[in-house]
Every structure is written in C-alpha cells, then in structure tokens.
C-alpha cells in the first residue's frame, strides 16, 4: 500500500498541474489555482477513487481525470474556507494561504475557477459513456453543493460559539468531509460499473470512513506530535471548536473511532471486489500520525 500511496500521489500531483498549465486563462489566475493545488496534502480523495477502481480490476488510467476533478473541488473548498470572511486562516500545511499570497479577489476567483473547471473535466472524460458522465456530474454537484459541502460549511459557521451534540456534529462532518470521501469511492465504483448493491455498500462504507477520518483529525489535534503534524496541536481547544474529544472526551472519542473503523471493515467485506487496498487505506486512516 505504501508504494501505491507514494506512486499515485506523484501521478496525481503531476496531472493536477498539467491540467491547469494547458488552460488558456490569465497567468495570475493559473498561478493562484496551481499554488493551492500544489500545496498538496495526502490526496486521500484521489487515492480512494483509484484504489476503488483497482479493487474492481480496472485500469487506473480511467480514473485520473475524475480523481483530479474531485481534488480540485476539495482545493476550491479549502481556498474559500480560509478566506478572512470565513475561517480567516493565514497558514495551511505550514504555507501561507492562497489569499495571503494572491489577495482575496484572486483567491475567490481561483476557487470559482477550480470548481467550475472540475465540471469541464468530467464532461471531457475519455472512454466513459455519457450516462456515466451524467451520473458523475450529478453525484459530484450534489456532494459539493448546497445540500452537501456548502451546507456543511454554513452549519459549521452557524455552530460557532455554541455547544453541539454528537448528532449535530456528525451531520456537519457528513456534509463537510464525509460527502467528498464517499463521493470518491462512489465515482470509482461508477467508473468501474459496479453493481447497484456494491455501490450502495461502498457509500455506507464511505460514511464511516469519513467520520473515522474526522475523529482521527480531532484526536491528532489533542495528542499528535507537532513535528510530525507540521502544525500546532491544541488549536481546536484554543478556538473552542466543536470536536469529538470535546463532546465525548478523549477515551470515548477513541472508542467511537474504533467503532467506525470496524463498521467500515464489516461493510467492505461485503463488496464483490479485491478489498485489499481499501482495507489497508481504512487502517491507515485510523492509524495515521499526520
């Protein structure tokens, strides 16, 4: 799995930049879009999509463009979330945020550009049938749109300074994080032309994986190693953020993490595919140290 992760991360990094480089658009706009795409991260969404495709025995080449499209949407959401009017973050992954480098106007437009271009990419997929492309447009726009990620961001903003219960917190995370993780699995399954049943199980698997991912994130902010994480720990508590450790306590949050990982594994076992990679990625999400 390490090899798969490392190799495909490089492939995705390269392809993301290529897509923007060839655009006939103002240089400043392309620079701003590329800056945030290059800021990197784990590329967990593209990796999940590619691992799903591989698990169904399909050629990874079929998945790169749509994996890039989803990563572009993820990147757009980070750029807009970091804006002064939103979370007002100066740093992301140790680097100045987009608006700190390019100014607010260009940051807003780079986000708009990435979001819009991701749909151009879906519409231009090679070797994918039109009815699948349309399902991809539908799934992606729903996960990212006013019922999905945008709703999650609004709910998160409105929850600031108010103590949430577990159900409210889960709902926000389903929409903010879970939706794009599930989406990656579903898009992989769609491209692989998986059965309706497998698709349905993978969606449920994705929801548990998304929650596990978020709980682990919250726990790392409490117990992680600053040097490995590349960011300060304890910032959630300082900012009085609603997190799993805050609502449940650290021990119960860890139990909940284990619960979601177990449920994910149980569901994955029911999918008619080579489950090896997704199983390893599930463990990785639970055990990661950054």
Using alpha carbons, list the distances in angstroms from residue 127 to 123, 189, 257: 11, 15, 39
Which CB atom, from 115 or from 201, has the smaller least distance to its own copies? 115
Footprint of its own copies (CB under 8 A): 23-26, 28-30, 33, 80, 83, 85-86, 103-106, 108-109, 111-117, 119-120, 122-124, 130-131, 133-135, 137-138, 140-142, 144-147, 150-151, 153-155, 157-158
From CA 83, how far away is CA 103, in angstroms rounded?
10
From CA 204, how far away is CA 219, in angstroms rounded?
23
Which CB atom, from 141 or from 275, has the smaller least distance to its own copies? 141
Using alpha carbons, list the distances in angstroms from residue 196 to 36, 192, 193, 199, 200: 35, 12, 9, 5, 6
Using alpha carbons, list the distances in angstroms from residue 4 to 18, 149, 163, 181: 21, 28, 40, 18
Which CB atom, from 7 or from 239, has the smaller least distance to its own copies? 239
CB of 142 to its own copies, least distance (A): 6
CB of 45 to its own copies, least distance (A): 16
CB of 184 to its own copies, least distance (A): 17
Is 221:235 a contact under the CB 8 Å cutoff? Answer: yes
Which CB atom, from 30 or from 208, has the smaller least distance to its own copies? 30
**Which residues make beta-bridge pairs with 95?**
92
Which CB atom, from 4 or from 119, has the smaller least distance to its own copies? 119
């Amino acid at each position: 799995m390490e090899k798969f992760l490392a190799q495909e991360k490089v492939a995705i990094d390269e392809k993301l930049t290529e897509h923007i480089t060839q655009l006939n658009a103002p240089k400043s706009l392309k620079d701003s879009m590329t800056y945030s795409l290059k800021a990197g991260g784990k590329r967990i969404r593209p990796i999940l999509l590619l691992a799903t495709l591989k698990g169904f025995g399909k050629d990874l080449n079929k998945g790169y463009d749509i994996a890039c499209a989803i990563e572009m949407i993820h990147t757009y959401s980070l750029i807009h979330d970091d804006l002064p009017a939103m979370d007002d973050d100066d740093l992301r992954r140790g680097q100045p945020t987009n608006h700190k480098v390019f100014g607010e106007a260009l940051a807003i437009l780079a986000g708009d550009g990435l979001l819009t271009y991701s749909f151009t990419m879906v519409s231009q997929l090679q070797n994918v049938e039109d009815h699948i492309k349309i399902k991809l447009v539908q799934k992606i726009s729903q996960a990212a749109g006013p019922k999905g990620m945008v709703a999650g961001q609004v709910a998160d903003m409105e929850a600031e300074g108010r103590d949430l219960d577990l159900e409210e917190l889960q709902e926000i995370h389903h929409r903010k994080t879970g939706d794009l993780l599930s989406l990656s699995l579903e898009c992989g399954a769609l491209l692989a032309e998986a059965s309706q049943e497998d698709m349905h199980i993978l969606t449920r698997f994705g929801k548990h994986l998304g929650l596990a991912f978020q709980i682990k994130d919250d726990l790392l902010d409490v117990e992680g190693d600053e040097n490995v994480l590349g960011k300060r720990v304890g910032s959630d508590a300082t900012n009085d953020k609603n997190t799993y450790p805050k609502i449940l306590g650290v021990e119960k949050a860890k139990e909940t993490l284990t619960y979601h990982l177990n449920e994910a594994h149980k569901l994955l076992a029911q999918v008619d595919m080579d489950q090896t990679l997704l199983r390893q990625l599930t463990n990785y999400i639970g055990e990661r140290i950054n």
